[in-house]
Structure 1
Amino acid sequence: MDNRQTPTLIVTIVFFVLASVFVALRFVSRLGVVHKVAAHDYLMLLAWVIDFGFVFAICYGTTKGLGLHQTDVSSSNNVALNTAEYVANVLYNPALMTLKMSILIFFLSLSKTDKIFRWSIYATIFVVNAAGVALTMVNIFQCRPVSAAIWPHKMGTATCTDIVTIYLSSAPVNLITDVAIFLLPVPILTKLRLPRKQKIILIVTFSFGVFTAVVDVIRVAYLQSAATSRVQMIHTAESAGLTSKLGQDFSWYGAFAFMWSAVEVNTGIMCACVPGLKPLAARILPRLIKGSTDTSPQQASYSAYPTSANRSNRRASLEPRQRQSPSLHPGSGHNGTSIHPPPTAASPEEMMDMSDFLARSGPSDDMESSTVEESYGPMNVSRFFDFVNVKKPKSMLAMNNKESIPPVALTTILFFMWGLGYGFLDVLNDQFQTIDHLNSWAYLGLHAAYYGGYLVSPLTIGRVLLRRWGFKVTFITGLLIYACGTLIFWPSAVLTSFTAFIISNFIVGCGFGVLETAANPFIALCGPLENAEIRLNFSQAIQATASVVSAVLAKKALFHSVQDAASLVRVQWTYLAIALFDLLLAVAFYYLPVPEASDEDLRALSDRRRETNSVRVIGIPVIWMTFGLAVFSQFCYVGGQEAFITSLASYIQAQTPQSRLSTYDYTLIGRSLFAVGRFLAAFAQWFLKPRWILLVLYLGLIVLSVLCMNLSGLAGVILALFIFLFESGVFSTIFAMSLRGMGAHTKTASAIMATTIGAGTIFPFPQRAAVNTHGSTPYSFAVIVALFSAGALFPLYLSFVPAAKKQVDPVPNEYLRRHRRRSHHCRRKNRTENGGDPPLPKEEHYSLGGVWSRPRSLVEEPPSSSEPPPIPEMTMTSGHDFARTGST
């Protein structure tokens, strides 16, 4: 098509007219039915006014040549066309910002008691306004000087940022806020108790917001096409000596960018107005909205529209229920046991008319009455839209192997996700280095940005979330940060900007840092602690497998054609898919029952071995000595690992310059060995003590690194690949052992251990400096040898210090158990004699001597016949301990 004027004009006008109709109907509903206009209504009206100016500028531009090739635009229309484009460009972000502010202000009226929901709204408002103002400023000052945007011929030295580039760069922010606005009300809606038909209508009503995100994605597809055309035009213009917008044919390839921007804004206005139309629809078509089966005689006394009288009645009806003692609440018996009442029809105060929900201008008691059931329902049941009841899980520390399989399998998906992301980033950074002609130091900068996220997020974000809100919230937050990082890849690709790539890598690293803060201890603690190292090595093996799979997909299928800046833009769809999957996974984690481990449970488990854990080594409690050395060892190991992987390509080129296999092929073989090694480590720890396996791995790393320094040719490369195999089980084994005996400090310890991964930021630089100084990559392996040698102090300490052996060696069938109540007198006597829960018996510890581990439990062992009288607290006992404690 040689003329884009007509479709741009028609589509823009049609969508604006539809949006205007929705705005008009919204105000008819608010003024004619509800009789009140709220702040979010005025913001919507302001958004429509800005949208009118935006649409008018586009339509005016089409009459002056927008949609035609620049060669077909009359020179007398250039100033008018440039003015229209400039005005439309400036008004786009304020229109979106005001529209989203209207929606978010409306969301604030959904609940006045849910602090997390309201703070999430405030955070989104901040992001929307900060991004909107920043992007508006970028649009206003897109040219230097500003007048060059309208009179480019008069400014020979002027420089301008392309509009399509600005639009594509802002796409991640728009998508992130669109998805956030779509997901934010979901927790509130799922707590409402409404008749099924009204509930379905409510879901559909709020689901209209997804259309805005869909249109945004379609718009990005056209922007990508425009960006590709832009790159081609720039090369043509540069060869012809033209560098302005006129020489790049912007009037042609920018037309559809403006059109789809108008579609996005007007679709957003329509979707935002849909909830406000409910009172009008209920007045015109009451049976369609309510239905004949939704109203009971009790409910008929409540007006379809809220009045102060029936609000007072509803408050009065709730007061007697709220004054009940806790023992009389449904789901609670007199003796503290759980009683599940049979399902009954909701009472009037538990029901909520949807017109009340959508028509009111602020928080009301109706909202509170609709959600009050959450506090009084069965305490061990989580309701999902009244359709599915999901039992809340018990503490992860009380789970046996069989019970821990589902939550461990679910969390292992997170390991797969960051393995997938790491593989993609690794290949893409290599491609970007080629496209942007980066030197080795700049490439290490990209690498350091990713691992720099680990230095920041575990202690600042992960630890706070994990200690205060638990594993579920930390998982969700990490996934959201990771999704934001993948979306921010878009401006990186569009601008081919090294700085933008640094930011994208850093945010992805922050997301992974938060995930690792929670995921690693979750796997280690979920189930009997004797198998902590096995579980963690297996999950980390899945992560390593995902990194191999993603590297193959990236190199052979997804990124194989990425050879220039234009093709780099097309990679964004891979990252969009990853981001959307992350968001879906975050929603799934919100509703799925994720077991937790409170500080009290962790302390109770640790106290069962307090005699072992309280022993001092050179005046320091053994648990802190072990943890400190574990942190140091992990820091050295990760530093050596990353120094090795960043130097591997140059090492292979130096050793086998004529090899038929590429450096990518060798690296892929090494990563495959790494994945296989983690599976082997998990299997070996089934019958060998983890500390001995760790010692063997470290010794192998030191020997292989020394040999790589001194051997040349293919032999050196083969030994370098075997370094991957010996690296495989180190990280997981150290992490799991470092948490043993930490008790209430376990979550903080996990955050510190996750921070040690930030060593990958530091040590590749001295290794590269050694290459540049001595001109030899093999010689630079001296840095790697030194790091692995320092890290080996930890397994040596575990092998030769008896107190450390007792602390870290697995205890069979070690997990918490809930017991029946015993008499107050017996419990008091037991605590008086022992100062707390009964300690483990004094005897020669099974960990002394030998490398073989005790037989592991496959499922929960039945209580022995000599089991002592149970106690009410959650305590850890094992089959090995029952016979001993029964005689005390």
Structure 2
Amino acid sequence: MSFASFRKKHTLRVRDDKRTPAAELTLRQSLFPICLVTVLFFLWGFSYGLLDTLNKHFQNTLGISKSRSSGLQAAYFGAYPLASLGHAAWILRHYGYRAVFIWGLFLYGLGALLAIPSIINHSFGGFCVCIFIIGNGLGSLETAANPYITVCGPPKYSEIRINIAQAFNGIGTVVAPVLGSYVFFVFDEEVALLNVQWVYLAIACFVFALAFVFYMVKIPEITDADMAFQATETHAGEDQDQPFRKQYRLFHATFAQFCYTGAQIAIAGYFINYVTETRANTDSALGSKFLAGAQAAFAIGRFGGAALMHFVRPRWIFGIFLTMCIVFIAPAITQRDNIGMSMLYVTLFFESICFPTIVALGMRGLGRHTKRGSGFIVGGVFGGAVVPPLTGVAADKHGTAFAMLVPLCFFVAAWTYALAVNFWPWYRDTADAFTTTEIGLRGPQHGGVVSDLDGGSGTGTEIGVVDEEKGAVVGLDKQTERV
């Protein structure tokens, strides 16, 4: 095979105005790409869980305050809008999902490699810069992976798919604190920092290898034309012909994502501080293990929430779970010892499905605006750069337990979206239209396109359009077949 043929076969550019078979992928066809992309969810779950552990580790080894250590979260999540509204969004709209996956993994690996000299020189500021690069990589991955999982397969099960995929994100957040409890907190300062270097070197090697895998394999590319078709077929696309600035449900979902994510990050980021301050005989190593247990409750909640969504409308599950977050974080402000910690455990359990469900519900009915809209919703993760520093300031002045008042306020703000999507017909009817649709459950129903797509093995870019009056296929190439 010549280089030109190889490059053409593995091209990353996709025409966004073309309908492809990806609009009506069946469960079987979507299985391979979903499994591959789910690996990315574990990666950023691990990175996020590692960040929460390093938050306390650097307080101990570098002697910095809680508010200053929140610079890690500010750098990490502050990068998300730059990716989701900037470079990653541009690549997604001009190339496709696979290109963004590769770009995000490259940035992730680059930041991990650059973190090593910063750790060697005990430079907290330098490490924050590296975390900012990693955040750009993970922000790019989230900009593509969250909407991809949502739209890859039958729309009826999109909330279930994204919550199951995000459950592996939760598994990553469990693994990282456990690792941290054994390699960061039980050694002296120099050995612990050396261990951090090895961890980031291993991360870099793995993500570069994974980027190569994404370049070599073919996965279905879902275009804006495909999403416009789904919105039209479900009768939920009445707003897709409106200009982007009038997608008000999307902007409300973005606001909710900002508030919710900020609260979630603040609770996890100061969890170890909370238990070491409020629970007797608890050091940082034990606190890290408790954090792993809380993240396990988070992961279990995602699997459980996804299972419930098979029987109950996802918007109701979302509304109940977010309400419970408010109910259980409030007592953590005044309670101490095991009771206070248990309140945080239960809060993390109910946090589980909120982020992915906001993504899925917020993208409903966007049609041709889907890719651009997904960047806005993921950009809401910027709340993780705002709320933790506010929580850190409150913790430095009044203690970490009292500081839980800050995420409580942001949970309440996010709750406005849960109320709207359940009780306002304009929100509710659009969400329900996708929940009841039959698209993708029995394969293509409208004869719109055909191709070599089979179980995720094709790109979906070589398509033919059916002329239903003549019963022929127009514009076919050698890889398509007659209907």
Give TM-score scaled by structure 1 length.
0.47
Matches for 1:790-829 after TM superposition, within 5 Å: 790-809=413-432, 810-815=435-440, 817=444, 819-820=446-447
Q: Among residues 352, 358, 362, which one is paired with 1:738 in the alignment?
A: 362
Q: Among residues 627, 644, 647, which one is paired with 2:267 in the alignment?
A: 644
**Residue range with higher mean Cα deviation, 497-506 or 763-772:** 763-772
Q: Among residues 779, 782, 790, which one is paired with 2:402 in the alignment?
A: 779
1:546 and 2:357 matched: no
For 2:199 and 2:239, locate their aligned partners in 1 and report how far apart those are by CA, in whole Å. Answer: 53
Q: 1:622, CA displacement in angstroms?
A: 13
Cα distance change on mapping 1:667 and 1:705 into 2, 3 Å: same
Q: Among residues 576, 593, 609, which one is paired with 2:201 in the alignment?
A: 576
Matches for 1:14-53 after TM superposition, within 5 Å: none
Cα distance change on mapping 1:413 and 1:785 into 2, 3 Å: same
1:474 and 2:113 matched: no
Q: Give the letter aligned to residue 568 of structure 1.
A: L
For 1:482 and 1:873, locate their aligned partners in 2 and report how far apart those are by CA, in whole Å. Answer: 47
Matches for 1:520-531 after TM superposition, within 5 Å: 520-531=146-157
**Structure 2: stretches of 5+ with no match in the other structure:** 12-18, 450-466, 474-483
Q: 1:804, CA displacement in angstroms?
A: 1.8
Q: Give the letter aligned to residue 554 of structure 1.
A: G
Q: Among residues 70, 73, 76, which one is paired with 1:444 in the alignment?
A: 70
Cα distance change on mapping 1:640 and 1:691 into 2, 3 Å: same
Q: 2:229 matched to which residue of 1? A: 604
**Residue range with higher mean Cα deviation, 730-739 or 560-569:** 560-569
Deviations 1:305-330 (A, max 9, x none): xxxxxxxxxxxxxxxxxxxxxxxxxx
Matches for 1:829-840 after TM superposition, within 5 Å: none
Q: 1:769, CA displacement in angstroms?
A: 2.7
Higher-RCO chain (CA-CA 8 Å, sequence separation at least 6): 2
For 2:245 and 2:422, locate their aligned partners in 1 and report how far apart those are by CA, in whole Å. Answer: 14
1:656 and 2:306 matched: no
Task: Give the conservation status (yes or no) of the 8 Å contact 2:297–2:346.
Answer: yes
Q: 1:781, CA displacement in angstroms?
A: 2.4
How many residues are aligned here?
442
Task: Give the conservation status (yes or no) of the 8 Å contact 2:333–2:405.
Answer: yes
Q: 1:414, CA displacement in angstroms?
A: 0.9
Cα distance change on mapping 1:870 and 1:777 into 2, 3 Å: same
Q: 2:253 matched to which residue of 1? A: 630
Cα distance change on mapping 1:480 and 1:401 into 2, 3 Å: same
Identity in percent: 31
Task: Give the conservation status (yes or no) of the 8 Å contact 1:819–1:873.
Answer: no
Deviations 1:31-75 (A, max 9, x none): xxxxxxxxxxxxxxxxxxxxxxxxxxxxxxxxxxxxxxxxxxxxx
Q: 1:642, CA displacement in angstroms?
A: 1.7
**Structure 1: stretches of 5+ with no match in the other structure:** 1-189, 193-370, 376-381, 385-392, 823-868, 875-888
For 1:628 and 1:420, locate their aligned partners in 2 and report how far apart those are by CA, in whole Å. Answer: 29
Larger radius of gyration between Structure 1 and Structure 2: 1
1:762 and 2:392 matched: no
Q: 2:345 matched to which residue of 1? A: 721
Cα distance change on mapping 1:524 and 1:383 into 2, 3 Å: closer
Cα distance change on mapping 1:580 and 1:818 into 2, 3 Å: farther
For 1:801 and 1:819, locate their aligned partners in 2 and report how far apart those are by CA, in whole Å. Answer: 32
1:532 and 2:177 matched: no
Q: 1:502, CA displacement in angstroms?
A: 0.9
Q: Among residues 711, 714, 720, which one is paired with 2:335 in the alignment?
A: 711
Deviations 1:663-710 (A, max 9, x none): 223212111100110111111111110110111011101111222223
Task: Give the conservation status (yes or no) of the 8 Å contact 1:486–1:508.
Answer: yes
Task: Give the conservation status (yes or no) of the 8 Å contact 1:494–1:565.
Answer: no
Task: Give the conservation status (yes or no) of the 8 Å contact 1:699–1:792.
Answer: yes
Cα distance change on mapping 1:813 and 1:622 into 2, 3 Å: farther
Q: Secondary structure at the match of 1:571?
A: helix
Q: Give the letter aligned to residue 759 of structure 1.
A: G
Task: Give the conservation status (yes or no) of the 8 Å contact 2:75–2:129.
Answer: yes
For 1:766 and 1:425, locate their aligned partners in 2 and report how far apart those are by CA, in whole Å. Answer: 18
Q: Give the letter aligned to residue 572 of structure 1.
A: Q
Cα distance change on mapping 1:493 and 1:659 into 2, 3 Å: closer
Task: Give the conservation status (yes or no) of the 8 Å contact 1:819–1:870.
Answer: no
Q: 1:716, CA displacement in angstroms?
A: 2.0
Q: 1:191, CA displacement in angstroms?
A: 3.5
Task: Give the conservation status (yes or no) of the 8 Å contact 1:450–1:506.
Answer: yes
Deviations 1:404-443 (A, max 9, x none): 1111001111111222222333333433332222221221
Q: 1:488, CA displacement in angstroms?
A: 0.7
For 1:372 and 1:518, locate their aligned partners in 2 and report how far apart those are by CA, in whole Å. Answer: 27
Q: Give the letter aligned to residue 401 of structure 2.
A: P
Q: Secondary structure at the match of 1:596?
A: coil
Q: Among residues 33, 53, 62, which one is paired with 1:407 in the alignment?
A: 33
Q: 1:638, CA displacement in angstroms?
A: 0.7
Task: Give the conservation status (yes or no) of the 8 Å contact 2:27–2:153.
Answer: yes
For 1:394 and 1:674, locate their aligned partners in 2 and report how far apart those are by CA, in whole Å. Answer: 36
Task: Give the conservation status (yes or no) of the 8 Å contact 2:67–2:396.
Answer: no
Q: 1:559, CA displacement in angstroms?
A: 3.8
1:685 and 2:312 matched: no
Deviations 1:331-355 (A, max 9, x none): xxxxxxxxxxxxxxxxxxxxxxxxx
Q: 1:502 matched to which residue of 2? A: 128
Task: Give the conservation status (yes or no) of the 8 Å contact 2:56–2:272.
Answer: no
Task: Give the conservation status (yes or no) of the 8 Å contact 1:453–1:513.
Answer: yes
Deviations 1:226-282 (A, max 9, x none): xxxxxxxxxxxxxxxxxxxxxxxxxxxxxxxxxxxxxxxxxxxxxxxxxxxxxxxxx
Q: Secondary structure at the match of 1:817?
A: coil
Q: 1:462, CA displacement in angstroms?
A: 1.0
Q: Secondary structure at the match of 1:792?
A: helix
Q: 1:620, CA displacement in angstroms?
A: 11
Task: Give the conservation status (yes or no) of the 8 Å contact 2:118–2:127.
Answer: yes
1:191 and 2:2 matched: yes
Cα distance change on mapping 1:420 and 1:404 into 2, 3 Å: same
Q: Among residues 311, 315, 324, which one is paired with 1:700 in the alignment?
A: 324
Task: Give the conservation status (yes or no) of the 8 Å contact 2:22–2:226.
Answer: no
Q: 1:397, CA displacement in angstroms?
A: 2.3
Q: 1:509, CA displacement in angstroms?
A: 0.7
Cα distance change on mapping 1:636 and 1:494 into 2, 3 Å: same
**Residue range with higher mean Cα deviation, 625-634 or 532-541:** 625-634
Deviations 1:67-118 (A, max 9, x none): xxxxxxxxxxxxxxxxxxxxxxxxxxxxxxxxxxxxxxxxxxxxxxxxxxxx
Q: Give the letter aligned to residue 679 of structure 1.
A: F
Q: Give the letter aligned to residue 702 of structure 1.
A: I
For 2:10 and 2:87, locate their aligned partners in 1 and report how far apart those are by CA, in whole Å. Answer: 29
Matches for 1:412-491 after TM superposition, within 5 Å: 412-491=38-117
Task: Give the conservation status (yes or no) of the 8 Å contact 1:705–1:785.
Answer: yes
Q: Secondary structure at the match of 2:70?
A: helix
For 2:370 and 2:310, locate their aligned partners in 1 and report how far apart those are by CA, in whole Å. Answer: 24
Task: Give the conservation status (yes or no) of the 8 Å contact 2:52–2:269.
Answer: no
Q: 1:765, CA displacement in angstroms?
A: 2.1
Q: Among residues 563, 566, 585, which one is paired with 2:210 in the alignment?
A: 585
Task: Give the conservation status (yes or no) of the 8 Å contact 2:228–2:237.
Answer: no
Deviations 1:356-386 (A, max 9, x none): xxxxxxxxxxxxxxx47987xxxxxx489xx
Task: Give the conservation status (yes or no) of the 8 Å contact 2:24–2:439.
Answer: no
Q: 1:623, CA displacement in angstroms?
A: 8.4
Q: 1:659, CA displacement in angstroms?
A: 5.2
Matches for 1:153-172 after TM superposition, within 5 Å: none
Task: Give the conservation status (yes or no) of the 8 Å contact 1:476–1:586.
Answer: yes
Q: Give the letter aligned to residue 335 of structure 2.
A: L
Q: 1:732, CA displacement in angstroms?
A: 0.6
Q: Give the letter aligned to residue 633 of structure 1.
A: A
Task: Give the conservation status (yes or no) of the 8 Å contact 2:55–2:269.
Answer: no
Task: Give the conservation status (yes or no) of the 8 Å contact 2:173–2:292.
Answer: no
